[in-house]
Structure 1
Amino acid sequence: MRPRPRPSLGTRLKRLAFVLIVLGSAAGALATLLLSAQVFERLSRADVQVDALFLARRPPSSATLAWQPAPPGADQPDGITLEDIRQAYLLAYSELTYAHGSGDTTGLPGRLGGRALREALAATSPRSGALLLDWEHRATPLGLLDRRTFRLRDELWTLRALPGPDGWAEPVARRETRTVTLERDGGVWRVTDWRVTAVQTPRARAATPLPTGSWRAVTVEEWSDWTREDWAALLRRVRRAGLGPVALTMPAVPTLNTGRALSLGTRLARQQGVAVIVTFSSPLTLENLPSRVTAAVQARGALALRPGPLPDSAPNTARALEILRAAQPLPLITEGAPVRVEVAPLIAGTVTGAPTPGAAFLLPGPPRLPWKQEAYLQAVAALPDQGWIAPGLDALTDPEGQLTPLGRAALGR
């Protein structure tokens, strides 16, 4: 056999170039994979931090912390200083919520110091990704210990939950009493010590069923900036038409005016003999419990709280209903049947999208197509004698309080 000819220099160079290209491509692919993993990890961490920040940023509300009467003889600061203390104290809880949810503890020294800071750092390291919430603070100002040290006693609700495979696991809500010390350093108040002195785990109370069969309710939206005159005009129209209760839809982002308007509207409606239902459009979750409790406290004396759609039949939804029933004073109205059998005794009534005995019916708005109007009014007039919630007051009455065709059909007049 003839020996294989030795490859030429050009051939060897081509082979070498091919090998280098293959190795370079493999190295590039590996580098891209590693970089993609790092980018994905950073994006995932950023998403977690954004979610934690969203929970930590609570909307301003007059019911977030309510000062109780101070003990006689206590040395109290002026009103501006007391407001600075209130904001610093609540901001410390916001920093804790963010740190527990995100694992980022760099912001904790903002409003925490001393023993409180050391405990907070220990509780969030290693990263836990836990849910930590607080609401309905009732703080008693115990007074100034010296020119830069202030002490208070606080009764508050806290909720803690650990991450699990299907959402939050083992949620625990309790009513705590804490003694808190704040110190001012460089013009900034910081929590330096807080001690839990008492703990209660209130049980949810069984509900008394509401007579929803007599409801002729009407939904009202965008009322956060209403004055006393605005509320008076609404209540006159409602009473003149024989409607009630009034279902006030909470805005997606409550403001400080929302709390004030809700308290004012509920009080004026009660004086006029018109019941109020506080309603939410977003689904009920453990994370948004504070907003529901805050609204219920602001609307104390209302007929019921409608906390929003129930997302599923998971235990967390049932647990959220149990905590909500225990933590605020209003009966609960759910959309659809309770998520679990054991929660049913806590529910005062239900709202459904179809005429169902014993439930309030969501009355649809009039159709826009003229040729459908007559059939729609006949269907409304043929409804069984049961309660309903109309989409808006203008669909039922004119500005003078006179009934529209839909109002006459729905009320049987």
Structure 2
Amino acid sequence: MTRFIVVGAGIIGLATAARLAARGDEVTVLEKEADVAEHQTGRNSGVIHSGLYYPPGSLKATLGTAGARSMTEFAEEHGIAVETCGKLVVAVEEDEVARLAVLAERGRANGVPVREISAAEAREYEPHVVCRAALHVESTGIVDYRGVCRALADQVRAGGGEILFGRAFRGARTEGDRVRAWVDVLDGGQREEIVADALVVCGGLHADRLARACGLEPEARIVPFRGEYFELAPQAAELVNGLIYPVPDPRFPFLGVHLTKMVGGGVHAGPNAVLALAREGYRWRDVSPADVADALTWPGLWRLGARNWVPGAREVARSMSRSLFASSLARLVPEIGRDDLTPSPAGVRAQALRRDGGLVDDFLIQTVPRQVHVLNAPSPAATASLEIAKHIERELDAGIAA
């Protein structure tokens, strides 16, 4: 029997731990919070992405497309709220129509069922949308990702594994055929030492720091971007049947403010994308001087800002003004107004950024002997989590066998 330590009780950590426990290995999951899915997993829009946006051949494309199927099947099998509702990506301006066609070709290359449709056809799916043309992606769905994490946690325990909450992972070292890890017990204030055969770190917003604490130099630094959401008032929610997305702005690395039906009812609006002032900075007043210094001393952030200052300034303005946020939504559905928006909990995206200012666009997983570190897992990581877990399992087995 092999003993594994898995750091992080988000969806990737739990999916990996569940796979290892299911095959009879001894698994300990360490989580500093008091419950599963407290950060990125539990604060996203709940979308099962189809694989439309990602470069063919990338991990995002291959694992994301497979993940859309496996995540839907997992939810159905375990009685978790899920719905394959489809989505529209809409071109509002004439210059967006050509970009829509490029997106359609990328989707087809990834095996995504995508159909180019006219404005009139788009209104058959979303009667209140305004556009010049659209893509209909029938395989996009929505799911309760917290429910998925609870089911995965049950699988870990059913396989004999344990999940230890209130344990802050501080670092580890590989010593021959073992890994020695150090953990702070937050409730009691003492430090524990755990020895295992191998280590998986799914550190999310702190992934680069935890990697360095284990003797690995990460290829990029985590820079936190907050995504702010609103929920539509009931009368406005009735204007939206499924998911409505704009054509992504090629100058900016995020998908843009969109409308998302939720499995629990209602419609989410957002997110925007602004630099967070703390790695767990869910509000403007959440400020960590150490996190701000960490971001501002990284040359990649300044280089990214120099290339994207116009859309970046627009995102900040939209964060400060509910009217501007509503105007962005009204491009898609004109009847939505400022008074239709109610603030909803924000999320923070752990974006890996290289020194030259380039975003790490694909999933990034680095290894050292007997250690696997997930260093970049933005959207569609939740969708692809069961497939990412298989990938990590192969990395672990190869590392142990070496």
Structure number with bigger Rg:
1
Q: Same fold (TM over 0.5)?
A: no
Instruction: Please give the TM-score of this superposition, normalised by the length of structure 1.
Output: 0.20
> Looking at both structures, which has the greater relative contact order when contacts are Cα pairs under 8 Å and sequence separation is at least 6?
2
TM-score (norm 2): 0.21
